[in-house]
A and B are shown apart, each in its own frame.
Chain A
Amino acid sequence: MTWETMMGLEVHLQLATESKIFSGSSTQFGAPPNVQADAVDLGMPGMLPVLNEEAVRFAVKFGLGIGARIGRRSIFDRKNYFYPDLPKGYQISQFFSPIVCEGVFEVPMEDGSLLPIRITRAHLEEDAGKSVHDIFNQESGIDLNRAGTPLLEIVTEPDFRSAEQAVAYLKALHSLVTYLGISDGNMAEGSMRCDINISLRRTGSDVLGTRTEIKNVNSFRFVERAIHSEVERQSDILDSGGSITQETRLYDAERDETRSMRSKEVANDYRYFPEPDLLPIEIDEAYIDAVRASLPELPAAKRTRFVSEYELSDYDAALLVPDHATAAFFEEVVSLGGAAKPAANWILGDLSGALNRADLTIESSPVSAEALAGLIGRIEDGTLSSKLAKQVFDGLWQGEGATDEIIAKRGLKQVSDTGALAQLVDDVIAANPDQVAQYLAADEAKQKKLSGFFVGQIMKASQGQANPKLLNELLIKKLNDQS
């Protein structure tokens, strides 16, 4: 039996507002427990929520960023359930009328195609606090620093068929929200948390199977592995004639398996109703226009422009664009005179390799855009071979100064002096009469192969500094002169 995987994702995105969605407390991550929770966050008697307008603006930015319809009148609702880290006994969310309505998000896939994913809705809500079970003996602690942090919950239709698509969507979403500046998208710190709804159906069938929901997966890699393991679990059950229980599951990364968390049949009845302490959010055309005007260039537009303006390949553009800082670094190198294609190659190759090894982001790169532009300039004008350029790059990384200083200090200048090169060529020809004879006797195809021996010898004699293009011309000419 073959099964088709049907998946929808729910992403909880923490919005990067300075203060919480309904109180004036700071949202900064990592403070000591409960120092960033005021009377509103604690749900003290008589306290009332006041909406942070920045959260609304961020949500509208997101909606416009994916071309979704903006809810002109969205309403907050109370979602009622008891939990110790939910101070009011209800979460203020949006159930009936969300701020972001249906839209389509086009996800760039590795093969260059675009995968359209239907966004069902995105709504504003407040985050809960955290229960801490491992600090106190036999007792649980509550940290309400996170309570009231604004979240945008982004819900898709069941449009994903593979883990690869799901991860591509999450990466594109991460790229979009960081471009928009509405979230840091940091999955490790919980700024972007993912719930995955998975069901299987017979290939060709249009009836959805029973789904399970995997909660709170917090890295791209775990999303991929969680999907693989859950799909395998479900198909094993279905293959052996069993049925899937609708339930919430957790992904255990250490064992690489999902396990049951709670069954939906006994799940809470959340008793949603309109939040009477807050007025509806009314959004008019002028507001939308103003937010739209404030949007930066988004990843999709930037990819297209990089291809047309800099004549990059789709592949290079797709690699440069997702990280906003990388794209900006690239454009800075180009604006400082670096040729586009080599700039892309250096950034995606040696520079990103070095940054990865050093666990640095491009914002803190020891090699500045200016330095890289200088290096590329010296390759373009023939001063450096690509081999020498790598040594200069190493010098730049070590902080030995600018390109020209390093060339001088390390004596790395390419030998392009015809007289000096001619002497080297003559010396090598004189020292290898047998090889010269072989060369002259060979046909054209074989000659090409044999010339490599001489190039190697000459490069060795020049300590790598011979200009390879000039060297080749001189060598062929002088070898043919021997006949």
Chain B
Amino acid sequence: MVDSAVLHASVSELHGMLTQRQISSEELTQAFLERIDLLNGKLNAVVTVCAEQALNDARRADKRLSRGKATMLTGIPLLHKDIFCTQGIRTTCGSRMLEQFIPAYDATVVAKLKAAGVVMLGKCNMDEFAMGSSNETSFFGTVKNPWDTQCVPGGSSGGSAAALAAGMATLVTGTDTGGSIRQPASLCGITGLKPTYGRVSRLGIIAFASSLDQAGPMARSAADCAHMLTAMSGLDAGDSTSADLAVPDFFSELSGDVAGLRIGLPREYFNDDLDSSVRAQVMSALSQLEKAGAQLIDIDLPHSHYAIATYYVLAPAEASANLARYDGVRFGYRCADPADLEDLYLRSRSEGFGEEVQRRILVGTYALSAGFYDAYFNKAQQVRRVITDDFRKAFQSVDVIAGPSAPGIAFRFGAKQQDPIAMYMEDIYTLAVNLAGLPGLSAPAGLINGMPVGLQLIGKPFEESTILNAAHRLQLDTDWHLARPPIEEWQP
């Protein structure tokens, strides 16, 4: 019988146990599969479990471990967000459209993590096509927040965040187009990083908004994220927008030293609109870093308030084209008995896509239409450059920019579902980072009424190490990241 502590152990701890043969990857994998089996009925965080394949992978990892050829991630159990294509394994993107879709290829991220030796347990639920901030848009049902199952886990990587918080995997992957890693990480009390645009290949990740999408690690600590990011990153000839830059060993860059680190606090984030309890937790985390030697400096990001409007023109515009391929012709959902071609298109897309996806396709189509292009798409592109420029200027005087990850703690199901704008406000602190292509992470900053809240740290382009190191310092000095949801108190 495996000690349940391993379900919440870090990569380093598990790596030690695996290499010292205190536990086998197969036993570890079995423990996580049982955990998923136990909790998923309640949380609905996982849409596909690959038990047989996971155990095979684990046995292969054990052989590698016994030969002394293990890497840090060999034999570590992981769940992928169901937006990453997995060869031979159903990849739904949370949509009826792809309910039966089985890719013939692995996403580059999947292949790289596989090569690093991880054991894939299955695929995580998510907002449909990554469009949502609460995991309420999934065709496969809502995901429950393990801290309070009446509440949402955030989105769109809500299945990943909930699964990790509940101890269903050691590592999970996410993607972040406007906050989809950081906001659910904040709401579920875990650490999640959106890398610089171009750091991680997008090949094989089902596209939402191509100029904003970026995959990243979600884990229990900055250190675990660092291990994962090293394995995920790098130039990919198959993604023209991936960066031709050397990938550091992000873990070895975690010195824990933040002396002299200049942390900028945008006045536009810490204004009167910010919930006071969120402000208190974020400031408490920042004062920890100050105690460790960092400097807190007030800065301005004067065009921050345009981020939501800009994002909700550009992302839907790109999505309207990216989702045009789901037409019922070659793959994916096809309506029954189409009368003609137009009927095939209309009904396949109306029946295959959910409401939020359809809303964004319509908004995006409108923004690109003749006569509206200049007023919407073109203007938004210009504002995007202005927002990017705000960050560039701010980074001339600071090394890191800090703020909240989300405006509040996890909210109840249905609270914002009828009000798309209120839902879009969930990403008010994260969207600009995607527009500017910068790295950003969310790290736990304590609890409000028993619910987690996150600190967001934003870095200069390709300086993921700097924000990971600041989060690492925080996690050396506090135990917020070790807090666990009250799952053991649940009645069976």
Contact = CB atoms under 8 A, between A and B. Distances in A.
B377 A273 contact: yes
B324 A46 contact: no
Contacts of B370: 269, 271
B202 A273 contact: no
A180 B7 CA distance: 65
A338 to B, nearest CB: 52
Interface in B304-351: 317-318, 320-321, 323-325, 327, 329-331, 341, 345
B107 A46 contact: yes
B91 interface: yes
Interface string B187-211: 0000000000000001111110111
Q: Is the interface of A mostly helix, strand, loop or mixed?
A: loop
Nearest to A79: B321
Nearest to A80: B321
Given A39-B105, A45-B206, A279-B241, A82 B324 contact: yes
Given A48-B202, A80-B368, A84-B341, A278 B240 contact: yes
Given A82-B345, A276-B210, A48 B240 contact: yes
Given A45-B85, A45-B325, A50 B241 contact: no
A51 interface: yes
Contacts of B341: 84
Contacts of B202: 46, 48
A271 B105 CA distance: 31
A88 interface: yes
A48 B104 contact: no
Interface string A272-298: 110011110000000000000000000
B206 A46 contact: yes
Contacts of B318: 273, 276
Contacts of A90: 321, 324
Interface residues of B, number: 43
A276 B240 CA distance: 10
Contacts of A452: none
Contacts of A84: 327, 329, 341
B325 A277 contact: no
Interface in A49-71: 49-51
B135 to A, nearest CB: 20
B203 A48 contact: yes
Given A50-B237, A50-B240, A273-B317, A45 B324 contact: no
A44 B321 contact: no
Given A45-B101, A46-B205, A48-B202, A271 B368 contact: yes
5 contacts: A43-B325, A45-B103, A46-B205, A84-B327, A89-B323
Given A49-B240, A271-B368, A276-B209, 10 more contacts: A42-B330, A43-B330, A45-B101, A45-B325, A46-B84, A80-B324, A84-B329, A88-B324, A90-B324, A276-B318
Interface of A: 39, 42-51, 78, 80, 82, 84, 87-90, 142, 269, 271-273, 276-279
Closest 3 CB pairs of A and B: A89-B324, A271-B368, A276-B211
Interface of B: 84-85, 91, 93, 98, 101, 103-105, 107, 202-207, 209-211, 237-241, 317-318, 320-321, 323-325, 327, 329-331, 341, 345, 365, 368-370, 373, 377
